[in-house]
Structure 1
Amino acid sequence: MPLVRIDVIKNQRSGQELRLLADTIQQVLQDHFHAPPRDRYQIISQHEPDELICDDTGLGLDYARTDQLVVIQIVQQGRDAATKQKTFAALADALASRCGLKGGDLIISCVGNAREDWSFGYGEAQFVTGRL
């Protein structure tokens, strides 16, 4: 049950385009990241252009980011490096083909956590209490 935060620049995509972006990410996570089909936790945040700053930090990247930038943060547990790398590549491919996103406009980060770090309602840690 990854929690996915999707950050974009405001007023660059219609509601339909944002939904396609989110749907595409969800499908890739199901296909490559072993996300359960009915577990969907996504937060889309839109920022003013000067509130999303993602410059090259000496990595030698040879492209400029555009106003179509998408930053994806996946809060997850238990995925190994190979699974993450395959998912990153699948996200880039799917977002390019379905949403027209250029590879240089995609940043992905995985953040790890543990089962006890989740509550899905009522302030209960369902994984700890055994309800999940």
Structure 2
Amino acid sequence: MPYVRIELPPTIAPERAHPIGDAVHDAMVETIAVPVDDKFQLITRHPPGAIVCTPEYLGVKHTAQALFIQIFLAPGRTLQQKRALYAMIARDVSAAAQVGPSDVLISLVETLRENWSFGDGVAHYTL
């Protein structure tokens, strides 16, 4: 169960939120073997000034359209899979959001399967 948080600046139109979420999900399905029906996302649009992103870091330039994608998932993906995921998300989200790929910032947070509950207060992966 990857859980995806997508933080959008006010410069991205509201109608782009779901296509952005779909692009992230499709990339996870294709590159890291997430099941198609395993879609859990929180997409948040922020007011001006709520997203802080340095104008340049590690040689990558960012604009006021920078958006953040954080994916919580179980460990087990290879570096090659992660690189493919980053590349596909940057490509497809930039198209969906109509921003440059340098404005698509991605982080993965790996957490053990025992730390997930899908509801009812049950640690489903421990059963």
Q: TM-score, normalised by structure 1?
A: 0.86
Q: Distance in 2 between matches of 1:34 and 1:4?
A: 15
Asked whether 1:8 is paired with 2:5, we answer no
Equivalent residue number for residue 22 of structure 1 = 21
Q: Shift in Å at residue 58 of structure 1?
A: 4.9
- SS class of match (1:71): strand
Q: SS of the counterpart of 1:39?
A: coil
**Which contiguous aligned blocks of 4+ residues in structure 1 show a shift greater than 6 angstroms?**
none
Per-residue displacement from partner, 1:9-60 (whole Å, max 9, x unpaired)? 136312x311111111111111112111101000011222211111157523
Would the aligned equivalents of 2:94 and 2:104 in 1 still touch at CA under 8 Å? no
Aligned residues: 126
Query: What is aligned with 1:114?
Result: 112
The residue that corresponds to 2:41 in the other structure is: 42
Where do residues 85-96 of structure 1 align in structure 2 (5 Å cutoff)? Answer: 85-96=83-94
Whether the aligned pair in 1 keeps the contact of 2:56 and 2:62 (CA below 8 Å) is: no
The match for 1:83 is 81
Q: Which amino acid aligns with 1:71?
A: F
The Cα of 1:98 is off from its aligned counterpart by: 3.8
1:69 is aligned to 66
Does the CA-based 8 Å contact 2:16-2:96 persist in structure 1? no
Give me the whole-angstrom Cα distance separating, in 2, the residues matched to 1:12 and 1:106. Answer: 12
CA change 1:126–1:60 in 2 (3 A) is: same
* More displaced 10-residue stretch of structure 1: 94-103 or 107-116: 94-103
Equivalent position amino acid for 2:4 in 1: V
- Classify the secondary structure of the residue corresponding to 2:5: strand
Please state how far the C-alpha of 1:95 moved relative to its aligned partner: 1.9
Residues 11 and 100 of structure 1: CA distance in aligned 2, closer, same or farther (over 3 Å): closer
Cα separation, partners in 2 of 1:81 and 1:126, compared to 1, 3 Å: same
Q: CA RMSD in A?
A: 1.7
Q: Is the 8 A contact 2:4 2:71 kept in 1?
A: yes
